[in-house]
Amino acid sequence: MADDAITPHVASYDYLMVNAENAQNSSRERRIKKSTMPSEFRLVSRSDWITVGVLCFVNLINYMDRFTIAGMLDNIKNDFKIRNDESGLLQTAFILSYMVFAPLFGYLGDRYNRKIIMSSGVFLWCLTTFIGSYMKSFGWFLMFRALVGIGEASYSTIAPTIISDLFVKDMRSKMLAIFYFAIPVGSGLGYIAGGETARVTGVWQWGLRITPALGIIAIILLLVLVRDPIRGEREGGVHLTSTAWSSDIKELLKNSSFMYSTAGFTCVAFVTGALAWWAPTFLQLAFALHPNSSNVDPDDVSFKFGLIGMASGLIGVPLGSFIAQKLRLHWAHADPLICAVGLLISVPLLFFATVTANTNAALCYTLIFFGQLSLNLNWSIVADILLYVVIPTRRSTAEAFQILIAHAFGDAGSPYLIGLLSEGLKTVLLPSLAVARTMKPPPIDPSINTLVEFRSLQYALFMTMFVEIIGSLFFFMTALHIQKDKAIVDLTIAGENTSDSTYICNEETEIEAQEDQQKP
């Protein structure tokens, strides 16, 4: 009796997977006649290569602009005379506007010319970044950093969907790896550009004037060279039409793979946001307490941390994509498992990097490199998951929804939360360390102040390790649903079902009805 109860579900799932495979094969035959060519790269046209190259360049300067401030945060704190919590608010204000406007651009990106939307957004963040560099009060500077987020939301929401319409399967994964390696590399360049420009010129504001100049070049390239393909062009889904925005949201909420992977990515965003913002400041404090501090230059931290971020991104992002392409041939749920394992590997590496920062600089840098490399495994994979579990006409909305959730509960609050927590810990650590060092109440010597700053930020950063563990659990949950959700999308694109959210239920109902008729 128990076996009879589960038979309809098993049959329905097998039916779904077989039909999905058939749909994929027929769709592939319809759209690509040159698949017998020895190399899949030969199928990529020159215009498509140019489009990907321009999108990668814009993504690079996008993240370069985002983390330029982190590379010269000490200069900004001293100039505006602000504390840790207020300096963390700079990134939080940027992310808040970034995530709030992402749904708007997601809606527009699914329906209107994507080149025009992206170009307008790039122009906005170039203009507001440049004007913000001339602000003399913290309040005005904070407002312009928030406006920068609006412009960047337009690009980050739409650009991946263009790649998804130009490429399919492993070729899409490869192109996404190229696109997303620009995130850690651009972030690293941001640290270097901000820190080195502030050091060379003696005026930190000049660090904010580099990316606007590059942005003008990016706008010209977007308008002249980028091709805006039809939604679902290479997947045979050109027959699909956009649905109401409310229907898009309802379907996304029912999509288990999308929701769980978004939750996992939110944890990744929390960790990367906190580390990207506070790691240079934390390392400067740690090296100032180093027993061999004469051999360690705290002023070159932004430069070295930027190089580490670039190197870990150059290796980690394509490595994650490569591993995924190999393993998914044998396990359909390999993608989320790689993300989960990458997060778990990163936890002890970053923990010991934080613990050894004030005693061994070389070991600390090494652990940070491998910890960031493990985190970077998931960038292109998470993007790939979104694109193959969501239908083409809904992908910009899905990107926007993921940005909204990931940043709202991730890096929008993590820089401010870590700064606020460190300020709270100072009130606990200051008296105890003062007594331990001098056996006297405050006032205390400057070395005690540095130690308190370091310890409070160190303990606050431990929170990121717990968030990484939670993120890995969400990716494990994604693995339970991803094969089914991908099959639903394949069938929808092939035109074999009309309602992607109810297909399985309908199939199960039909099978159950057939079995009831066969019963005596």
pLDDT band at 476 (very low <50, low <70, confident <90, very high): very high
Q: What is the pLDDT of residues 226-269, one digit of tens each?
A: 887 776 666 555 555 667 778 888 888 888 899 999 999 999 98
Exposure string over 236-259, b if 16+ CB within 10 A, otherwise e = bbbebebeeeeebeebbeebbbbb
Whether 182 shows a pLDDT value over 80: the answer reads no
**Confidence category of residue 293, pLDDT binned at 50, 70, 90:** low
Q: Is 496 exposed, middle or buried (0-12, 13-18, 19+ CB in 10 A)?
A: middle
- Range 294-298 contact pairs with CB under 8 angstroms and sequence separation of 24 or more: 296/361
pTM of the predicted structure, to 2 decimals: 0.67
Q: Is the pLDDT of residue 347 over 60?
A: yes
User: What pLDDT, on the 0 to 100 scale, is given for residue 439?
Assistant: 42
Least confident segment among 280-294, 364-378, 443-457, 492-506: 492-506
Distance CA(215)–CA(127), nearest Å, equals 9
Q: Which residues of 191-204 are buried (b: 16+ CB within 10 A; e: fewer)?
A: bbbbbbbbbeeeeb
16: pLDDT strictly greater than 80:
no
H-type helices in 202-244, by residue range?
Answer: 210-225
Strands (E), 187-326: none
Q: What is the pLDDT of residue 9?
A: 42
Instruction: Report the range of poorest mean pLDDT among 26-30, 364-368, 462-466.
Output: 26-30
Please give the pLDDT value at position 393. 78
Q: Is residue 336 over pLDDT 50?
A: yes
Report residue 291's pLDDT band, with 50, 70 and 90 as the boundaries: low
Closest CA to 454 of 289, 333, 315: 289
Q: Please state, in angstroms and rounded to a whole number, the distance separating the CA atoms of residues 190 and 187.
A: 5
pLDDT (mean) for 188-217: 82
Check residue 261 and give its pLDDT.
93
Mean pLDDT rounded to a whole number for the chain: 77
The Cα diameter of the chain in Å comes to 91
The pLDDT value given to residue 468: 93
Highest mean pLDDT: which of 131-135, 165-169, 366-370? 366-370
Q: Where are the alpha helices (DSSP H) in 37-83?
A: 46-67, 73-80
- On whether the CB atoms of residues 393 and 242 are closer than 8 A, the answer is yes
pLDDT of residue 442: 45
207 with 302: CB under 8 angstroms? no
Mean pLDDT of the region 93-111: 80
pLDDT at residue number 374: 92
Interatomic CA distance for residues 49 and 442, integer angstroms: 63
pLDDT bucket at 19, cuts 50 / 70 / 90? low
Asked whether the predicted pLDDT for residue 307 surpasses 50, the reply is: yes
Could you tell me if 141 and 89 are in contact, meaning their C-beta atoms sit under 8 angstroms apart?
no
Average the pLDDT over each of 292-306, 335-349, 356-370 and give the range with the smallest value: 292-306
Q: Please write down the HEC assignment for all residues of 356-383.
A: HCCCCHHHHHHHHHHHHHHHHCCHHHHH
For residue 444, count other CB atoms closer than 10 A to its CB.
18
**Max mean pLDDT range (323-332, 365-374, 446-455, 500-509):** 365-374
Q: Rounded CA gap, 5 and 315, in Å?
A: 49
Supply the pLDDT for residue 78. 80
For the record, the structure tokens of 132 come out as 């913000």
pLDDT of residue 196: 77
Confidence category of residue 518, pLDDT binned at 50, 70, 90? very low
How many CA atoms, within 13 angstroms, populate the side-chain half-sphere of residue 411? 23
Residue 341: predicted pLDDT:
94
Report, as an integer, the average pLDDT of 452-461.
85
| pLDDT at residue 348, rounded to an integer | 94
Residue type, 25: N
- Please write the tens of the pLDDT for every residue from 420-442: 888 888 777 666 554 444 444 44
Q: Which of 40-44, 326-330, 448-452 has the lowest mean pLDDT?
A: 40-44
